[in-house]
A and B are shown apart, each in its own frame.
Chain A
Amino acid sequence: MKRRDFLRASALASTSLLVPSFLPAAFGGRMSGGRFGKILVVIQLSGGNDGLNTIIPYRNDAYYRSRPNLAIPAAEVLPVGDELGFNPALQALRPLYDGGLLSIINSVGYPNPDRSHFRSMDIWHTASDSSQYLSTGWLGRYLDSECAGCEQPYHALELDDSLSLALKGREHNGFAMSDARQLKRTTDNRFLQAVGKAAHDHEHGEQAAYLYKVMVDTQSSADYLFEQSKVYPSKAPYPLTPFGQDLKKVAELITADTATRVYYVNLTGFDTHANQKNRQGRLLKQLAEGMQAFVMDLKQNGLLDDTLIMAFSEFGRRVKQNASGGTDHGTANNVFLLGGQLKQPGFFNPGPNLLDLDEGDLKYQVDFRSLYATILENWLGVKAPKDILGGEFGVLGMV
């Protein structure tokens, strides 16, 4: 028996006992043949990562003029093209780039950018215009529109104790779990389990019925995810950072063929107003080493072709450094895509124009919603992404 087959067989054996009886029939079909399908992993870099010191225009005088103390010297940059290079802390991404597993989209943003963390993150989460307030997220609405019949909330799973707006829909929500064992403890209330079991016998009002449904779903999901988390203990060398360990948990769930289509992982601390160089370097290293371990782990298990990773931040930072060895809130930024099936590895578009600024900030070239549209249509197979995104934003060719 091959290792993969063994894994699948053991996954089947352990889950078949536990899959709750009310799981939709579609899941049964999945188990006999093929994997669950294409998987999206979203990595959120919170605080506003400085894109200009991430992907560095190391031949651009304007860059060095704007950042006399903060610019990364050309000699330290890891060049990956004639104009652009990596921050040295991204060393671990180099082999992925060389292997055609990484695509970088420059100058991603939206019109009338908002420089508040919360507001700009909301805009990215809800895919709204900058003057529009939505209370559902783009991935939540994906669950609403594409998930008719698949009632389980763990189709979209966030590795955290609380759920981001991006994963909240009108009818369906994603699922938050920082750790399968800990989640199981929160549902380990035997009284509430007995209440959940008895709930089917009762008539509830609309609101109570909703609460009961979420409770029962959470209880069964906790059992399911706990079992899934034990199927494939990864041996790959993940960094011991919380971010690295989150990615390890995701890889373990993907490898166990968990019925989750979207994973959401956070890395925080990019709000580098002061002493940016060391702090951003540390974070980028965490990011790069975590992603490298993750990509190689999936590749080894033949799963990278089924996985697409997107890393974004709510905004980039100002072109000019400030007086504290840092940078202030800015606008457009680069987005990373990783996976085994990229149509356009390398750079999707040229780096930002540092001479054509909007009050000291980069102008966006790619609307983030066209990136969402591309992922929804070309990767997740959504027929009409405009129904989820509330408009046509064009589909790009990189996925």
Chain B
Amino acid sequence: MEKIHHLYWRAGFGLSPREWQARQGLTLQQALDQLFQEAGVVEEAPAPSASSREGFRQMSTKEKEVILKQERERLGSVNIEWIQRMASSRHSALRERMALFWHGHFACQPIFGSLGAQYTNTLRRHALGNFRELTLAIARDGAMIRFLNNQQNRKEKPNENFARELLELFTIGRGHYTEQDIKEAARAFTGWSSNLAGAYVFRPRFHDYGPKTFMGKAGDFDGTDIIDIVLEQRETARFITRKIYRYFVNEREDEARIEALSRQFYESGYEIAPLMRAIFESDWFYAPQNIGCRIKSPVELIVGIIRALDVRFVNDKALLFLQRALGQVVLNPPNVAGWPGGKAWIDNATLMLRLNLATYLFQLSEVNFRTKDEPEAGERGTALRRLDATIDTRPLMDLLAGVRREHYHERLAEFLFLQQPDIAAALLQQYASAGSDWDYANSLAMRLMSLPEYQLC
């Protein structure tokens, strides 16, 4: 069960107490098969209605502000829908987890709600498919085209933004291309644009049909050719595999394993699902040094707590607030390089909020946290004084059926931690309720969830 637990924290978002119990009898192989089987269906997110952007350019600043505010709200609802998906057992945990990974990789800040939904669906659709298809779909995604200004990439005046990030961040990485390669790639992507609804449109008038020289090859390349040439380089498979290894296995890299995996990835023609299976089926994935060594991202932490305590927020916007306060807002990564992750999540403010989060939910006590200002808002950031939410700890307490009171903490810790925290039972008991079994168990869960080790998965 420890292995299945670890698998679900990396390939999904942890387990609710019920899911945890339901998997008690499974072998690792059965759990893996189940994960991949559930991921077989792509469930797309509903797109919010789009504001009419007819004549947006001609609008006055005030009119624009109204629309942009509306769109921020819609983006917020796409964000909330996604977080709730990650927390729900009705959606494939593996597919949503892969989509979140690719979101950090092909990082993008969609400006409209409809573009946001479309972009997450692009990620979802290809999350376990083929990396070439994924890259191509992203190059044609309206949200990305706008984010990296490719609608301004025209024959007479190429805009190199997309071409640069394609090489530097999305495929092969720094040090394996020249500035000239970027210029030539930018020419190949001229005319790759999108219409008002965000759908991909190729504009032949703006496309540069002339011959190009890219990575030592010459031809009348267009964007698709550029992607194919980059993917012919083994370095691209290495770059992507390394990133996957650091995210799903361990920030501490193992060169030999990364090399072997990247060879397999390359030879499969960049098929993602077999690569992920190879990782999750390996023995080393379950080695002690790879378990519980990852600092949960804010989204992992939030989603994990929702699953563990069946949290329901009175106002779902609390989810946006928490993401902002903890430093990771889905659909709003800091820049095109995505979230740096690891220790970068942690400073004194985010850590204390993380440690106190479970306590706030158990006790509905005061939070008093103000997020950073939004420059457009013209006012100080939103403050949260209290997290209005209900929690249901009955499923969690069900795990204690048949367990004697003096072993409650051990049983709860088994469920809450990947690596057992080194804390004296006496200390825990000293700060737990001396009341009924129910009160005692709940206070234990609250204390355990405020330990620094709860931040790890």
Contact = CB atoms under 8 A, between A and B. Distances in A.
Contact of A192 (B371, B422, B424, B450): B450
Contacts, number: 152
B327 A268 contact: no
Contact count band on A: 35 or more
12 contacts: A161-B325, A162-B350, A164-B372, A173-B347, A191-B450, A208-B419, A211-B295, A218-B352, A268-B379, A274-B62, A323-B61, A326-B61
Interface string A40-80: 00000011100000000000000000000000000000000
Given A47-B375, A271-B375, A198 B423 contact: yes
A286 interface: no
A189 B359 CA distance: 10
A119 interface: yes
Interface in A185-234: 185-187, 189-192, 194-195, 198, 202-208, 210-212, 214-215, 217-218, 221
Interface residues of B, number: 55
A264 to B, nearest CB: 12
A117 interface: yes
B66 to A, nearest CB: 11
B218 interface: no
B195 interface: no
A168 B373 contact: no
A178 interface: yes
Interface in B278-332: 292-295, 325, 327
B351 A214 contact: yes
Contacts of B256: none
Interface string B138-175: 00000000000000000000000000100000000000
B402 interface: no
B335 A133 contact: yes
Interface of chain A, main secondary structure = mixed
B370 A178 contact: yes
A162 B293 contact: no
6 shortest interchain CB distances as A-B pairs: A324-B61, A211-B452, A135-B340, A117-B375, A268-B373, A133-B337
A115 B371 CA distance: 23
A195 B423 contact: yes
Contacts of B42: none
A164 B335 CA distance: 15
User: Most B CB atoms within 10 A — which of A162, A210, A323?
Assistant: A162
Given A215-B351, A279-B378, A204 B61 contact: no
A266 B373 CA distance: 9
Contacts of A279: 378
Contacts of B372: 160, 162, 164
B438 interface: no
A289 interface: no
Interface of A: 46-48, 117-119, 121-122, 131, 133, 135, 153, 160-165, 168, 173-178, 182, 185-187, 189-192, 194-195, 198, 202-208, 210-212, 214-215, 217-218, 221, 242, 266, 268-269, 271, 273-274, 279, 314, 322-324, 326
User: Most A CB atoms within 10 A — which of B295, B335, B419, B424?
Assistant: B335
B130 to A, nearest CB: 27
A269 B356 CA distance: 31
Nearest to A323: B60
A279 B335 CA distance: 29
Contacts of A48: 375
Given A198-B423, A218-B351, A266-B373, A212 B452 contact: yes
B334 A122 contact: yes
Contacts of A131: 164
Contacts of B373: 46, 266, 268-269
B368 A273 contact: no
A279 B422 CA distance: 55
A266 B359 CA distance: 30
A322 B378 contact: no
B336 interface: yes
A273 B65 contact: yes
User: Most B CB atoms within 10 A — which of A192, A207, A269?
Assistant: A207
A153 B346 CA distance: 12
Contacts of B348: 153, 163, 173, 175-177, 214, 217-218, 221
Contact of B347 (A135, A163, A268, A326): A163
Nearest to B372: A162
B20 interface: no
Contacts of B337: 133, 135
B401 interface: no
Interface in B371-430: 371-373, 375-376, 378-380, 419, 422-424, 427, 430
A197 B176 CA distance: 49
B303 to A, nearest CB: 19
B193 to A, nearest CB: 20
Nearest to B384: A161
A211 B327 CA distance: 16
